[in-house]
Amino acid sequence: MDHRIFIYHFKNDQSVRGRHMTYLCYEVQLFDVRFRVPLGMIRGVLHNQHHPDPQRRCHAELCFLIRMSSLRLYPGQWCQVTWFLSWSPCPRCASKVSDFLRSNRHVSLRIFAARLHTYHAGYEEGLRSLRDAGAQLSIMTAKEFEYCWRVFVDNHSWPFRPWNMLEKSSQAISERLQSILREKISFFHQPTCYQPSFGVFSPGRFPCPPQTASSWFPAPPRGPQHHPF
Ligand SMILES: [Zn+2]
């Protein structure tokens, strides 16, 4: 990604105008469940696909789901997916991604968003549905911006230079997200929680506790298997 595009689209100022495109930087870490070994990493960058025909338009998040279908994963693989998004998912994408996660328990998703997409009614419920489907949602801090700059940006070997108010904006947006996620717990779709110490899945009455990246490990898939890939 061009460095100017990255700065323009990921700048975490909630008052920005004209950013109608969502950029999605992704990492897919594949694991072999049986041997608990990493199999490889896939990275890429996506953005919304515009088309005169509304039926052929595709938001970046749904473009990712289409791309996942081309990976042709086989049973026994576990996917740990990380997204870095310029905007958090809109309600429609949040619903589609939540359905995907519920149907594909061998996929874990953590989302880091630069800004909250607040322009459509129901965005809060969309974020909560993602949480209830097992996704981890966070707001990008300087650490994630710097990581994206190194990994996804054609940076000409220049170091990442944080813009004014980066940390303050990140903190304010994060507080807003936490407030949204605190408001209500849905009892209709409870995620499952993997307990590494016991090696079994246990249905969680409440969403899984926050995990650090280092604590993530592939959990065995629940049967029956759903493998659309
Ligand atoms: Zn969307």
Q: How far is the CA of 147 from the centre of ligand 1 (A)?
A: 24
Catalytic residue selected from 27, 61, 125, 146: 61
Active site residue 125: no
For 30, the domain range is 3-12+22-183
Give domain status of residue 36, yes or no: yes
- pLDDT at position 27: 97
Asked if pLDDT for residue 148 goes beyond 50, the answer is: yes
Query: Average pLDDT over the chain, rounded to whole?
Result: 80
How far apart are the C-alpha atoms of 190 and 187, rounded to whole Å?
Answer: 6
Asked if pLDDT for residue 219 goes beyond 50, the answer is: no
- Token look-up 């949480």 returns 131
Burial pattern 37-56, b for ≥16 Cβ within 10 A else e, equals eeeeeeeebbbbeeeeeeee
Q: How far is the CA of 97 from the centre of ligand 1 (A)?
A: 10
- pLDDT at position 57: 83
140-144, 174-178, 185-189, 211-215: the lowest-pLDDT one? 211-215
Give domain status of residue 212, yes or no: no
Q: Taking a C-beta distance cutoff of 8 angstroms, is the pair 12, 146 a contact?
A: no
Tens digits of residue pLDDT in 42-89: 999 999 998 777 777 899 999 999 998 887 776 678 899 999 999 999
More confident residue, 186 or 107: 107
Q: How far is the CA of 48 from the centre of ligand 1 (A)?
A: 8
Amino acid at the residue 8: Y
Q: Which helix (H) or strand (E) holds 46?
A: strand 37-47
More confident residue, 4 or 39: 4
- Token look-up 């994408």 returns 93
- Token look-up 């592939």 returns 218
Asked if pLDDT for residue 41 goes beyond 50, the answer is: yes
Q: How far is the CA of 77 from the centre of ligand 1 (A)?
A: 27
Give domain status of residue 101, yes or no: yes
If one counts every other C-beta atom within 10 angstroms of the C-beta of residue 213, the result is 9
Q: How far is the CA of 34 from the centre of ligand 1 (A)?
A: 35
- Smallest Cα–Cα separation from 168: which of 195, 191, 146, 139? 139
- pLDDT at position 17: 74
Cα 107 from chain centre: 11
Give domain status of residue 56, yes or no: yes
Asked if pLDDT for residue 190 goes beyond 60, the answer is: no
Asked if pLDDT for residue 197 goes beyond 50, the answer is: no
How far apart are the C-alpha atoms of 82 and 135, rounded to whole Å?
Answer: 10
More confident residue, 34 or 66: 66
Q: Taking a C-beta distance cutoff of 8 angstroms, is the pair 209, 188 a contact?
A: no
More confident residue, 17 or 12: 12
Residue 205, CA distances (Å) to 34, 133, 224 in order: 27, 12, 21
Give domain status of residue 74, yes or no: yes
In this prediction, what percent of the chain has a pLDDT beyond 70?
78
- CATH number, domain of 29, equals 3.40.140.10
- Smallest Cα–Cα separation from 100: which of 141, 63, 153? 63
Q: Is 14 left (phi over 0), alpha (psi -120 to 50) or beta?
A: alpha
Give domain status of residue 159, yes or no: yes
Give domain status of residue 41, yes or no: yes
Give domain status of residue 211, yes or no: no
Q: How far is the CA of 39 from the centre of ligand 1 (A)?
A: 30
Q: Taking a C-beta distance cutoff of 8 angstroms, is the pair 29, 79 a contact?
A: yes
Q: How far is the CA of 106 from the centre of ligand 1 (A)?
A: 23
- pLDDT at position 75: 67
Domain count, the chain: 1
